[in-house]
Structure 1
Amino acid sequence: MLKSRYVAAAIGLLIMIFIAVMFFLPQLQVEKATKGNTYTESVFDQSKVTKVDITVADDDLDTILDNPSEKEIVNADVTIDGETVKNVGFRTKGNLSLNSVVQMGDSDRYSWKIDFDHYQEDQDLHGLKKLALNNNYSDPTYMREYLSYELMEKMGIATPGHSYMYVTINGKEWGLYLGVEAIEETFLNTNFADGTGDLYYPDGTGSDLKWISEDIDAYTGLNLKTNDHSDQSAMINMLDAINNEGNLEEVLDVDEMLRYFAANTALVNLDHYQGDKKHNYYLYEENGIFSILPWDYNMSFGGYSGGGGRQGGDTNLENRNEVTAKDNDAEQDDTKLPEEAPNMNGGRMMDMSSNFMNENNINFSITEPVSGTSLDERPLLKALLSNDEYREKYYDYLDSIATDFFSKEKMTAMTSEITTLITPYVKSDPTKFYTMNEFIEATSGEETLVEFASQRAESILAQLSGDLVIEAEAESSMGVKAPNMGAEEPGGLQAPNMGGGGDMPAMHPPDMNPGGNGSPPDVNGMMNQKGPGNSSYSKETVILSLVLLILLLGALAFAQFFRRRGKTG
């Protein structure tokens, strides 16, 4: 018969194994999910411009170019940085930019999408399944989208891989593009603890996230991209919570969304949920909790004003109480063409970037950060900013962006590095939308992204301190005070109050990292994203843990039985 000390030792060993598995299993699950996916470094190498050669049958290419709006998928071979993947899907992509290029008449500079797994389900490139090639439409700097994704990464948001790529099709140079990882299953597995939740691309009825009914079929524009058989009950729960004063933390990764909206507001990205089109974003649900994901930033940095801008504040900070609104229609001309812009031939390119540094963009409101709509029409943002604690965090993140990422020193360093990298390719680009002189002026003239960021940062900080007040563009039924230094007006959100009036708590400086790296506060407090210290468990983890727990309890029961038999024997 076994001795008691051996039983005790066996039980102790089981306990140690149980604790070790509970501690290390989440890390093993992450490693399993991302094993073999090296595309973030191998495909999206930001230290260089990657060469992408696309080979497609001439007839298929003619079909695409004759009917680009059809987005017909054809078979192609793609060579990226010398590595060839055969038998992939190839088509045009885009909405506004696609239709605009179509109307130009003499340009074939479309954005493209490559589906490595379209014909062969198990095919990929270092784990990458889908790649977008974006044509930098309406961006003479070639940098808006790249820098926007860089900010999102800085803020701890799950961000698609991105780098510059020079494209040829059938040996013909097509020009300098931005390669961007598609947001789909591979992206989710790489960036989230589980990666098997419901992914949505809202665009159409319901994309404003306003409550319609409990019938998910009423939200025809929510566009479920994964899990075709999902009952989408989590989406209904989320819509109910944000529209009907539910518990946001039960349905949202609140901190992630605050960081996201702070970045999007700083960037004045209005071709988005915060603008009149209410699109160009993803929602991802994991275990009932939703995150928001960035997408399509070629019109950030004030590049889109299709819905009308916010009304600007007085740029003279000493006269902040004399806020005047400018006539937005008089200020904006979204169809104005740059001089000497190529590819016209009777067509007209919508140059939304030509007036990006107007007062409406620089002084875009941080308290009611919408354009061409109202917060009542954007319930997700309204629900977040109506909460005092959440609004304070949102302001802290804006402060972090203004003082760090948007600082003149950092923006100059980033844009200078990018300019050095891409200038030879811009020169060689035969299909570019702008002349070389326009590129040089946009990157080194008086109105650059650096200057925009600098002035935007000054405006953000002035709005945070209360030195700059932005009038509400339209009344809202928020039921809280408008931004007017404690004076009450109907509608709108409260401005950051420095303790001098109003009901909102005084603003406090953000808890910045003393090391000066500019990391936003609580940036590692992500609920669902993978990362060091993340405690999210997948379903497999939970099941295995329960099995181990049952085995442990069984061992303890056996030990107790053994002891009793020993006493009676």
Structure 2
Amino acid sequence: MDEAAILPLYKLFIRPIDLRELRRDIWIDDPIPAQLTIEGKRLDIDIAYRGSHIRDLAKKSYQVSFFKPKRFKGSKQIHLNAEYKDPSLIRNKLSFDFFAELGVLSPQSRHIFLNQNGKAEGVYLEIESVDENFLTRRGLPNGSIFYAVDGDANFSLMSDLDKETKKSLQLGYERIVGGREEDFYLQEFIFNINTFSKSEFEKEIHKFVNIDKYLRWMAGVIFTSNYDGFVHNYALYRNGETRLFEIIPWDYDATWGRDVNGKKMEPDYVPIDGFNTLTARILYVDTFRKQYRLLLEEIMDQHFTVDNMIPKVDRLTKLIRPFVIQDPYKKQNIDIFDQESAVISTYIEERKRYINRKLTILD
């Protein structure tokens, strides 16, 4: 069987009156009822547009909540991303898989082909929702999950948006999992990041955050070059047993050599030392900074290589290519799609040269 034949077909059915309501105002988050058929099983769902600037694009992304049954394959919600600005349609998945390879908690994802009311909508990336089912699926302890919803999730006392002192230590975050008492732990974490002396920070911060996991996440952001990764595109999970925060990547289509508009990105666009308050304070500690440098060198040797990454790129592009030429929004750009493996390969080589040049600032 052709490998491409395994790409799942999702059939979405929306009543015309509900579809008109969905399209009436793309900025409204209120869902409308619909049916979604997956693997021959018809599911009652609620569906809404998702994202911020991407809602204005021709090919929409969706948030799907299962209504009847309440869960499907252990999920109560999934995300269907159009990946419209990424000419390859694979950068998000490539990034999530890369983070997982580095030992970072990361959403599962897979490409699917979406039909809406019998009409082809094209290739989408189905992304696992980061919620309590995310924890259950991995056998992780209960805890709390906070989404970083805007640039104020910068681990600072100062707002990234208006450059004023924050009115709340929780500004920039939305609690998705856990009770209200969990807010205290997030607030305490951010307060301590900003008020510990250097010696206190070095001795005490490991009681609040898993340093190894954070450094691995930092490295993932640096290697993929997600410009918003340090202040926005992530979720925080506080492990109920270890009581430590871990960080989960999210929204990684503008990576691997292309920016948020799909334009080619300069290899030095995202600095090696990142830009948020927690990252700055961690790298100010000699032992953490040396640990980070060794980790970067290890990843460049074993993971962030053309030999490791390009076979994965080629497998993904081979898988979805027969469906890209059926995608009404993408088929006219198939020539660009076919060149993306070379774009990513060039990016890896150029980014490695940049990082190698900058390693000395971590001495």
Give the alignment's TM-score, normalised by structure 1: 0.57
In 1, distance between residues paired with 2:238 and 2:249? 15
For the residue of structure 2 that corresponds to 1:256, the secondary structure is helix
C-alpha change, 1:354 and 1:204, in structure 2 (3 Å) is closer
In 1, distance between residues paired with 2:333 and 2:151? 39
Residue from 267, 274, 278 that aligns with 1:369: 274
Aligned pairs for 1:154-553 within 5 A: 154-191=101-138, 193-195=140-142, 197-204=143-150, 206-211=152-157, 217=168, 219-230=170-181, 232-245=183-196, 246=201, 247-273=204-230, 278-287=231-240, 288-304=243-259, 352-356=261-265, 358-361=266-269, 364-366=270-272, 368-370=273-275, 378-432=276-330, 435-444=333-342, 448-464=343-359, 466=360, 495-497=361-363
Counterpart amino acid of residue 283 in structure 1: L
Deviation at 1:231, TM superposition (A): 5.3
In 2, distance between residues paired with 1:436 and 1:388? 48
For the residue of structure 1 that corresponds to 2:47, the secondary structure is strand
Higher relative strand content: 2
C-alpha change, 1:249 and 1:433, in structure 2 (3 Å) is farther
In 1, distance between residues paired with 2:175 and 2:246? 14
Higher relative contact order (CA closer than 8 Å, sequence separation 6+): 2
Give the alignment's TM-score, normalised by structure 2: 0.88
Deviation at 1:395, TM superposition (A): 1.6
Alignment match, 2:90: 143
Deviation at 1:148, TM superposition (A): 0.4
Deviation at 1:145, TM superposition (A): 0.7
In 1, distance between residues paired with 2:317 and 2:35? 31
| 5+ long unaligned stretches in structure 1 | 1-44, 102-106, 305-350, 371-377, 467-494, 498-569
| 5+ long unaligned stretches in structure 2 | 160-165
Deviation at 1:420, TM superposition (A): 1.3
C-alpha change, 1:227 and 1:496, in structure 2 (3 Å) is closer
Alignment match, 1:486: none
Alignment match, 2:29: 71
For the residue of structure 1 that corresponds to 2:176, the secondary structure is coil
Deviations 1:36-63 (A, max 9, x none): xxxxxxxxx9993211111121111122
Deviation at 1:355, TM superposition (A): 2.4
For the residue of structure 1 that corresponds to 2:339, the secondary structure is helix
Counterpart amino acid of residue 133 in structure 1: L
Deviations 1:297-320 (A, max 9, x none): 01112433xxxxxxxxxxxxxxxx
C-alpha change, 1:184 and 1:231, in structure 2 (3 Å) is closer
Contact 2:229 2:249 in 1 (8 A): no
RMSD: 2.5
Deviation at 1:359, TM superposition (A): 4.7
Alignment match, 1:82: 40
Deviations 1:141-163 (A, max 9, x none): 11211110111110111111101
In 2, distance between residues paired with 1:183 and 1:434? 34
In 2, distance between residues paired with 1:430 and 1:54? 16
Deviation at 1:218, TM superposition (A): 5.3
Q: Sequence identity, in percent?
A: 22
User: Who wins on radius of gyration, i.e. which is larger?
Assistant: 1
In 1, distance between residues paired with 2:36 and 2:144? 30
Deviations 1:440-486 (A, max 9, x none): 23334xxx11111122123223333x4xxxxxxxxxxxxxxxxxxxx
Contact 2:91 2:254 in 1 (8 A): yes
Contact 1:46 1:164 in 2 (8 A): no
Counterpart amino acid of residue 146 in structure 2: Y
Counterpart amino acid of residue 264 in structure 1: V
Which stretch has the larger CA shift, 395-404 or 433-442?
A: 433-442
Residue from 53, 59, 62 that aligns with 1:112: 62
In 1, distance between residues paired with 2:79 and 2:108? 10
In 2, distance between residues paired with 1:264 and 1:199? 20
Deviation at 1:232, TM superposition (A): 1.7
In 1, distance between residues paired with 2:244 and 2:5? 35
For the residue of structure 2 that corresponds to 1:142, the secondary structure is coil
For the residue of structure 2 that corresponds to 1:84, the secondary structure is strand
Counterpart amino acid of residue 365 in structure 1: P
Deviations 1:91-130 (A, max 9, x none): 110012223x1xxxxx2x10111111xx45x621121211
Contact 1:93 1:113 in 2 (8 A): yes
Deviation at 1:82, TM superposition (A): 2.3
Contact 1:402 1:460 in 2 (8 A): no
Contact 2:34 2:45 in 1 (8 A): yes
Counterpart amino acid of residue 239 in structure 2: E
Contact 1:198 1:230 in 2 (8 A): no
Alignment match, 1:12: none
Counterpart amino acid of residue 352 in structure 1: N
In 1, distance between residues paired with 2:332 and 2:148? 32
C-alpha change, 1:223 and 1:82, in structure 2 (3 Å) is same
Counterpart amino acid of residue 239 in structure 1: I
Counterpart amino acid of residue 199 in structure 1: I
- Aligned pair count reads 348
Counterpart amino acid of residue 403 in structure 1: D
In 2, distance between residues paired with 1:47 and 1:249? 47
